[in-house]
Structure 1
Amino acid sequence: MSDEKYKDRLLGHEYDGIQEYDNPLPGWWTWMSIGTVIFAIFYVMWMYMGLGGMTQEAELEAETALAQEMHPELFAAPDGGGSGPDMPPVDRAAYVGNDEAVAAGKEVFTINCVACHGVDATGGIGPNLTDNEWIHGGKYDNIRHTITVGVPEKGMVTWGPILGPEKIAQVAAFVYSLGGGEPEE
């Protein structure tokens, strides 16, 4: 083979004795690239702009409605917000501000909750319960709901079946009585 035959097709540079040919891309490669771009355009229009008949938001709403229909107990909450099973109604006044209920709640807290929230409830593994920052709401019903259903993604077990409604109401009254203070450094 003569180098003269391919001289027109050689690029004008050479590195370490290696020369590069100026060959066109294979046809299949070109058409695959063009096809990928066209597919991407239609995919975006279909999935994100709703040309397929449903946007992502509408699909989410439809699936949420179906889940609510199939499992209504999972979407029921004391405040109607939808984040756990129904809790039995409790007379809030019988627990909040009741010294006996708060003392009983402190006893249950000491047995079950100190390992994560600390002896003085200023946190440890679990969050601080004595400041004004509430992750899941600082109202009595929010506290009771959090204790009942737990926070599994953060490691807090579901105390509802373990403690029962009476002890949960007492612990919630105790925790509610702690709120608003500043922890010691």
Structure 2
Amino acid sequence: MIDNSTTAASTTVRSAEATVPTVHGTFRFLAYHDAEAGTDHLAIVAGELGERALVRVHSECLTGEAFGSEKCECGPQLDAALDLINEHGGVVIYMRGQEGRGIGLLNKLRAYALQEQGLDTLDANLALGLPADARNYRAAAAILDDLGVHEVRLLTNNTDKVHQLESLGVTVAEQVPLVVGVGPNNEAYLETKRARMGHIIDDALLHPQS
């Protein structure tokens, strides 16, 4: 569990805003600079953000989103989240600098190499002397606060993400599963998330042919 004892509210500042048409719909893109981490994040907003807004806090994944890697489900999750907020209203908070659950692109590829030797996604990180999940969500909570969103329906399978956001003052009224992009190249990865990292993934969705 990441220490959330300090807040990023005073160091995460809205810095730019524009309307952007995309293949998923037309959204407001709000850029935030996180001075503490030296990183820029995006809030991608559709419609009005009322009570219990639909929210996805999404970690940047270059391999999955730009190159369509099938070792994870990140690209399909981002696509599905954007489609959902375009339909129902809400916000996707796109967290940059969180590649590979926060270990960075180079270490992510090193972990992939260890997975090819038989380690699962959690043990590969640990074998590199890295945490299983190095992310924190202080900046995401600060962005939600800036948007006036304090109670959310959170699009995530990750219960740790729920607990971290709640520890930062965000009320998670509902955890909405987002199980998409399952295939033969990431079933073991997703099974490790479920069995060892507390992710909520229905067995029928993880093993649709069984």
TM-score (norm 2): 0.19
TM-score (norm 1): 0.21
More strand by share: 2
Structure with max Cα Rg: 1
Larger relative CO (CA 8 A, sep 6+): 1 or 2? 2
More helix by share: 1
